[in-house]
Every structure is written in C-alpha cells, then in structure tokens.
Structure 1
C-alpha cells in the first residue's frame, strides 16, 4: 500500500463539497467514522483516491466484491468530483446508488492524458455501515 498524501484539515475537501477537509471527509477517511449516507461514503472514497488512502478504500469496499488488495496508480491525479444524482442511500435506507463524474489526469509531457470517470455506484449497509458494492451496469 502507498503512503497517504498529507492534507491539512483546514484546506478545502477534495470531494468538492465546499467544506474543509476536517469538517467533511477526514472523520471517515482518517478516523474510520461511519459515513451517514451513501453519498457521504462515495465522497470520502473519492477523497481517499485523491489522497492515496488505500486502507479507507479497502475497508469501505464490500468483502464480496473488493479485490484482495487496493493499490493505486500514483501517476493518476484526481482533479474534481461532480455528484450527478443519488437514489436511496439515506440514513434510514439499506441500499442506494450514486452517479458521479470524476476528472483525472495522468502522465507527463507528451504522454499526458485527461479523462472523466462517469460511474453509477451501488452501496449497501453492512453491519450498520455503508460500503461500496460495485458499479451499476446496463443489462
């Protein structure tokens, strides 16, 4: 696993909520507090990708669908998150989905590439905590 990227708590949260990292995703990413909603968990997972906090990604991934280990491509930088829609996933729900777009950049110089991850993610409550299950795919 890679070492997390330091992020001062007073800086804006990478998830784009407009709140500081300390008031937004840090309690979930660093302290392991349970996210109250599927969207809050998805935002914290984006933040964990942006800051390279692989243990948060691993522990918030459903054991049935998660890989044996989570190792990030360190040449990939996450540039911004837009939550497009959510369905269910509230404090009293057992499941929910969140559709989002996340901008990224990878490589240097002539090899530099940009892109957007457009995903519709599925979440469930397991043991009272929200976990990521998988991407919703069209049948």
Structure 2
C-alpha cells in the first residue's frame, strides 16, 4: 500500500465511530479466517455444501459467511479447522516481525542493528467453490 493510499485509509478509519471501527475490524478478522478456509477448500476440491454437511450446518449459512452477511463464531471456526485439518495460528504484527527477524538472523541475512520490517503475508479473499 502506498503512503498516500495508507494515509487516506487511516483518515477514513479515524472518521468512523468507535462502533463502526469495531464492526469493520470484526469483518476483516472474519474474512481473514474464511480466506484461509476457502483456500484449503480449493486445495482439497471441497465445495460449500460439502463443508456445511461436515460441520452440521446449512449450505445457505456457509454462503452467508463467505459473502460477509454473517460472521463465524468460534465454534464454527473450530469445526471448520477440524474438518479441514487447519491449525489456525494467531499472531500480532509485532510478533510476526520478531519471528521473521529471528529467522533472518539465523541465516546471517539480518544483523539486528537496523530497523527492518517485512510486509504482512497476503491473504486472498473470495470464493470460487459454491
């Protein structure tokens, strides 16, 4: 993201009410988890109906989740992770940066004397399997 776009985005977010900021953050978190679920489903060639059957819910509910009309709860995410053999890891940006720098130090790529930041891993959203 370029600095000007980031600045515009930050300004837009700062104009939002606290409740809207929370709702927006919740949407992003849900999409991040569901993006990983969708990627795994594509890898194993599973459609949403099959996932719904495996976790004991309706295909329409799964479609609503992937469209962003509803948010998954922790039980739904746990069922998805179990059925898809996904092991979600939660990491803050700061912890991610520390881990990357530790790995780079191991291989002599980074000496630790200067500031170094690594771009966040990209999470692709969207769904191709219905």
Give TM-score scaled by structure 2 length: 0.27
Q: Which has the higher strand share?
A: 1
User: Larger radius of gyration, structure 1 or 2?
Assistant: 2
Of structures 1 and 2, the one with the larger relative CO (CA 8 A, separation 6+) is 2
Give TM-score scaled by structure 1 length: 0.26
